[in-house]
Amino acid sequence: MDTNKKNAKAVILAAGKGTRMKSDKSKVLHEIFNKPLLAYVIDAVRNSNIIDFSYIIVGHQAEAVSEFCQKFYPQITQTRLQTPQLGTGHAVSFVVDDLKEFDGEVVILCGDTPLIKAQTIENLVKTHREKNSALTVMSAIFDNPTNYGRIIRDENGLKAIVEEKDATEEEKKVKEINAGIYCVNWKEISPAFSELTNNNAQGEYYITDMVKWAVNKGLKVDSYVLENNNEIFGINSKLHLAEATQILNEETIKKHLENGIQIVDPKSTWISPETEIGADTIILPNVYITGKNKIGKNCKIGPFSHLRGDVEVEDFVKIGNFVELKKSKIKSHTNVCHLSYVGDSEIGSGCNIGAGTITANYNPITKVKSKTVIKDGANTGSNSVIVAPVIMGENANLAAGSILTKDLEANSLGITRTALRVIKNWVKSK
């Protein structure tokens, strides 16, 4: 059997309100490192190399979630509105018509689990295929399984998942829990979603009841035990959001340290998982990096620097104290000195961006952001302002305290400084 074939689909449950978030925003659109929770899940599914399309079940703030999917994932996702919201089993029923001709696996997972890894999803589907199961439940072993649905087994294997509110005292002692991710053979399991009942404490149609349904039909049900329990950490509050951010950051920093990056103070450093960093680069304390970035080898970043995404820094670049970078490319052997802001810019190699330099990229009247280009060998003096769109030619220099509003030719000096006026004995006269 080919366990690497890519014809599986995904159903991502993202309809919940998330009452404990205490926010008007959809729970799945809350962010870690400026990236929505739902995006982490979609990316994990996409990067699994085994699933080619996802259906997103929306409900609360459906329009906002749908707009996000259409903007960032138009080719690989479609949204389906769950109304009314009668439980997780009811949610999956909204893709039955879409998949009525589909003969393959469907992975069902939640949009509020940003720590799930692509490799884990891939392992789940491969295990499912290798064991020729009709339904595979991802499970985990918890010393304290409180609040989780329990995996109930008998001599024949897995027979049911029981939610804690419906569990007996004996069932509550079980430490194997339901991780909330499933792989199903769609043709065999999809009829369950029209036959589930809501005879439970919540009066909802539980997706977990499809296990008992499958067992009663004589279908093969198995489990895939998760190796890293952090991956199913679900976000239900702002406290959970902070905890997940910390877990993800610790994983990211550990990876960089193992890859030869010097991070002076891991506890005060925050680095997004999409950021690539080359060997022998030094990250100084209190650096905050969000979004997708690429930092080269032998660079020095910080302290107190902020990279806001879409930043590419080549080798041997120095980013000084309290520097903010956004959507910019900085070529090798360039220094961006302290207290500077560089946004929507391209800076060449061998440049020196003086302290307090600002690339003024945003026009508040037109709402347009424009680009600054500083070519190889060019320099700016301290406290300079470059009003985009503008180009500084090779080896051009901008004098300290100047405001540049038009292109500056190569090898030229730009200066807008007024003549110094000296009033003698002014202090004494006051």
Retrieve residue 215's tokens: 């067992």
CA distance 409 to 248: 46
225 half-sphere exposure, CB direction, 13 A CA radius: 6
Identity of residue 174: V
Identity of residue 81: L
| Residue 338 is among the residues annotated as catalytic for this protein | yes
Closest CA to 160 of 221, 83, 232, 218: 221
CA distance 289 to 311: 10
CA distance 31 to 333: 34
Taking CA atoms, 91 is separated from 16, 101, 209, 372, in Å, by: 10, 19, 13, 48
Beta bridge partners of 312: 294, 329
- List the Cα angle 16/68/90 in 5-degree steps: 30
Q: Among all residues, which ones are annotated catalytic?
A: 338
